[in-house]
Structure 1
Amino acid sequence: QRLRPAIVEVRATSSGGQKVSGSGVTFRTDGHILTNRHVVDGASNVVVIASDGRSLTAKIVGTDADTDVAVLKVESEMPVATLGTTSGLQVGQQAIAIGSPLGLSGGPSVTVGVVSALGRRIDNNDGPPLVDMIQTDAPISPGSSGGALVDSDGNVIGITTAIAVSEVGAEGLGFATPIDIARDVAEQLLNTGRVVHVWLGVRGEDLDLTMAKSLGITGGALVNEVTKDSPADVAGLRPQDVITTVNGKTVSGIADVIVNVRTRKVGDVVKVTVSRAGKPQTFSVTLKERTVN
C-alpha cells in the first residue's frame, strides 16, 4: 500500500498513431519517473496517469537500449518509491511485481513470486540483449512493463520488463533490471544525457552451500564463463573460480559482483579475490566500456 501511489500508468503514442501502455516508478518528488525504453521508444506523445487519476504530459529525458531503461519527467510534485538495492539479494527471496497491467482501471495490481535466478542474459527481440537481469516467477504482463519489483519490506529492487524474448522456455518468466543499475542509468541520463556501461566479463551463479563448505568459505559467486579478451580474461580469472571479495567487500552471491562492478566507471581498477582450487588469489581488473558485442 505504501508503494502503490508511486506507481503510474504510462501511455505512449507514436507519430503514426500506434499506442503502447506500460507502467512507471516515480523516484524523485519533482516528477522524475523510471520506466522501460521499449514502452516509450519512438513516441511523439507520452501521458502519465498518476495514482490519484491525474493525466499528466511527460517529457522523455533519455533512454538506454542496453538496459531497456528510460527516464520521464512530469511537471508535478509526485509521491516517490523507496529504492532499495540488489546487493545481498538471494535466489528464493520473495519478489512482488507492481504495475498497471493492460491499462486497466482501479490502480496498480500486485503479483507475488520469488527471485528465481540472478545475473540472467536475455536475448531481446526488440533490441540488444539485456544482461545481469533478475528472473522471477511473479507474472509480469505487458502493461506492467516498467513497473516495480519489490522485496518483502516494500523497497524497489528492480524495474520490471515484459519484453518479447527469443529464449525457449522463458515465455512464462518475468525479468527486471536491478535497481542499482537502473538508478545509475537514470543519474547518467540526468547528468550527461549519455550512458556508459562498464563490464567485468564473467557469467556465474551463487555458490551452493555444499561447495562453499568444502572450500571452507561461507559463500561467493561461482564463475561459469569468462568472455574472451574481457577485463576478467585479461586479468587472469578463469571458469570455476569462486569470487569471494570485490575491493575487500565480501561477496555472498553473483548479485553482489554485479552491483559492485556495474556502478563503477571506465578505467576503474577493482581487486577481485577468488578461491581457486581452495587457495585464495587476488587479481587487479581494469574495467572497460561494454559494447553491444
Structure 2
Amino acid sequence: MGSRPQFIDDLARGAQDATPSPNALTLDDTALLDAYSRTVIGALERVQQAVVFILVERDIDHNGARRVAGGTGSGFIFTPDGYLLTNSHVVHGATRITVTLADGGRFHADLVGDDPGSDLAVLRIGSPEPLPHVELGDSGSLRVGQIAIAVGNPLGLAQTVTTGVISALGRSLRSTSGRMIYDVIQTDAALNPGNSGGPLINSAGQVIGVNTAIISGAQAISFATAIDTAKWAIMQIFAHGRVRRAYIGVAGTTTPISRRVQRFFALTVTSGVHVMEIVKGSPAALGGLQVGDRIVAVDDFGVDSVDGLQRTLDASRIDKAVKVSVLRNTQKLELDVTPVEQHG
C-alpha cells in the first residue's frame, strides 16, 4: 500500500494539537461570553425562579356526560406572598388550577380575578415561605429596537427562553371577549402555544409585558399586553375582584389634529379620537355624539388616542355625567354624557 496523503497527517496532527489538556482552560467562562449573552443571562437570573407552569382542568358537559378538558399555560409570581399574573384565556372557566414552580413545587391556585377584556387574570397560591417574584417595569418608557426576552412553557417545555427586540409599540389586539386591547407590545421574540401568560422582560430583568398572542401563519410577530395596562388591571381586581370600566358606546381611531386647529381651539393634545361608529341607544348616542366627531377631552382631561379614552373612562366615571369635548366641522362642542358600567 502507498503512503497516505500528507494532508491527512497534517489534519491528524492539527487535531491532536487542538485537544486541550485538562489544565489548558484557565480563562473564566464568563470571559467567553459576549456582552449580549451576559445581558440576557443576567436578566433571566432575575426572573426564572418566578416563572411558573399552569395546568388547567375544566369540567364540560358532552351530550349529558361530564368530561374533563385540560389546558396549559405560563404565569409569573409578582409578590412574595404568592400572587401570580397570567392570561385570562389560560384560566377562564377553569374548575381546577395547578401551578408548578421552577423548583418543582406544586400548588393549587385560586382565581382572584379574571378580566377577559384585557386578557389578564390574577391567581394566588399558598406557601409557608416567601416566594421568588419578579419586578414589574415601566412599559411607558419602552423604545422600538430594545432587547425583549420571553420566558414560558411552550408546548409544555418548561423554562423556555426566546429573545428578540421590541418591533412596535401601541398596537391594538382583539381579546377573546371581542374587546380591543390597546397599547400592545409587538416583538419578534418567538412565542408558541403554552407561552401565554409568561413574562416579557427587558435587559434589566424587569417585566414589561404579559405574552399574549401570535398571528397564526406569520413568523416573528408576537404580542404582549403592556405591563402598565396589567398594573391597572391588577389594582382593579384587588379592589373589586374584577375590572370595572365605564362605557359610552363609541368605536373610533386615533387621528392627528393640525397645528392650526390646535392653536385655534387652544387644545392640549396633538391628536384625538375620530368617532367611526356609535352604538344605538348608548350613552354617546343619548348625549348627542355623531359619527365624524373628534373627541379631544373628557372633563378637561386631554384625550389624544383610543387608549387614552379607554383609560379616562375608568370606574370612577360610571353613572356620573361627564363633559365630552368634540370637534365637529368648524366647532368645538361640549356634550354631556353619562357613562354606564360595561358588562362582558
Shorter-chain TM-score above 0.5: yes
Say which SS state the counterpart of residue 144 (structure 1) adopts. Answer: coil
Paired with 1:263 and 1:95, the residues of 2 have a C-alpha distance of 35
Say which SS state the counterpart of residue 39 (structure 1) adopts. Answer: helix
Say which SS state the counterpart of residue 21 (structure 1) adopts. Answer: strand
CA distance 1:93–1:152, change in 2 (3 Å): farther
After TM superposition, the score normalised by the length of structure 1 is 0.74
The percentage of counterpart residues that share the same residue type is 29
Greater radius of gyration (CA): 2
Partner of 1:13: 57
Partner of 1:233: 285
Higher RCO, 1 vs 2 (CA within 8 Å, ≥6 residues apart):
1
- Contact 2:248–2:282 (Cα < 8 Å) also in 1: yes
Paired with 1:60 and 1:242, the residues of 2 have a C-alpha distance of 40
Paired with 2:136 and 2:316, the residues of 1 have a C-alpha distance of 22
CA distance 1:205–1:116, change in 2 (3 Å): farther
- 1:219 lines up with 2:270 in the alignment: yes
Residues 1-293 of structure 1: matches in 2 within 5 Å? 1=43, 2=46, 5-14=49-58, 16=67, 18-51=69-102, 54-76=105-127, 77-78=130-131, 79-82=133-136, 84=138, 96=148, 98-100=150-152, 101-115=154-168, 117-122=170-175, 124=176, 128-138=177-187, 139-148=190-199, 156=207, 158-162=209-213, 172=218, 174-177=222-225, 179=227, 182-208=230-256, 211-216=257-262, 218-228=269-279, 229-292=281-344
1:219-249 per-position Cα deviation (integer Å, ceiling 9, x unaligned): 2223242322222222223333333333333
Aligned length: 279
Q: Shift of the alpha carbon at 1:72?
A: 0.9
CA distance 1:72–1:254, change in 2 (3 Å): same
- Contact 1:85–1:157 (Cα < 8 Å) also in 2: yes
Paired with 2:139 and 2:319, the residues of 1 have a C-alpha distance of 24
Structure with greater proportional helix content: 2
After TM superposition, the score normalised by the length of structure 2 is 0.65
- Contact 1:97–1:140 (Cα < 8 Å) also in 2: no
1:144-172 per-position Cα deviation (integer Å, ceiling 9, x unaligned): 21234567887656533238xxxxx8764
Q: Shift of the alpha carbon at 1:73?
A: 0.5
Q: Unaligned 5+ residue runs, structure 1?
A: 164-168
Q: Unaligned 5+ residue runs, structure 2?
A: 1-42, 60-66
